[in-house]
Amino acid sequence: MNPSRLQQALATKEHVWGGWVVGPTSNGPEEFARAGYDYVGFDVQHGYLDDADAALLLRRLEHVPIGTAVRLPSADPAPIGRVLDAGADAVIVAMVESAEQAAAAVAATRYAPAGVRSYGPLRADLGLDPAGHEARATVFAMVETARGLAALDEICAVPGLSGIYVGPADLAICLGHRPAQAWTAPVVQEAIARIHATAAAAGLIAGVHAGAGVPGKAMARLGFQMITLASETQALRRGVAEHLREAQ
């Protein structure tokens, strides 16, 4: 099986830019692709989507040139397996606070004896080979809490983990600041820099949920490779405001 679109981008580009989808939109992912984004993330943790919604949206992107990731609230193997069967290139598991939780996330993407994923391929274009399905499954552990930060070295040492994905808002809250201060509070910026350095030293992909272009640029300068920018709702809000400004 060929590498996923996300894996291809990560292997060839210094910075891989992502959009984010929080609702059941079919046009949003296609517009991100049209704009030149490398991947789109589907938010099953905070968005108005469940894993079944994400699976349907993933099936629609079979012939759209963009990588895909799904953020899930836990390492529960059933939803992870469903979105991978539907073609997700990556899963991002939220609120990982220990090596054991990171290992559970990896196990959910692997078949026996290495893991607990159940075999149930849905996409004809992905074939039937279990080894191929495992090979294209990229798995990120989100580090976004004080406990996760304290266990960072152990999390990064988990075999099979592809990368670390920073959640700045929750990280800021855990460090005593408002979410908007993630990009200005020195203690939060120091924590983000430490996460990047530790992930890079472990040979892992360093990803971050920047949420906008300006912090995205800063994170790229810091060395992060996988950087999520605006969600479809943010892009819509900015676009409609600009159209109204022009008209008035």
Query: DSSP alpha helices (H): ranges in 61-144?
Result: 77-85, 99-107, 130-135
Crossing angle (nearest 10°) for helices 232-247 and 27-35:
70
Q: Shortest CA distance to 139 belongs to which of 115, 99, 105?
A: 105
User: C-alpha angle 14/11/40, rounded to 5°?
Assistant: 80
Give the burial class of 244: count Cβ atoms within 10 A of its Cβ; 0-12 exposed, 13-18 middle, 19 or more buried: exposed
If you search the block for the tokens 């990982």, which residue do you land on?
96
User: C-alpha angle 167/172/177, rounded to 5°?
Assistant: 160
* Residues that are catalytic: 46
CA gap 30, 45 in Å, rounded: 22
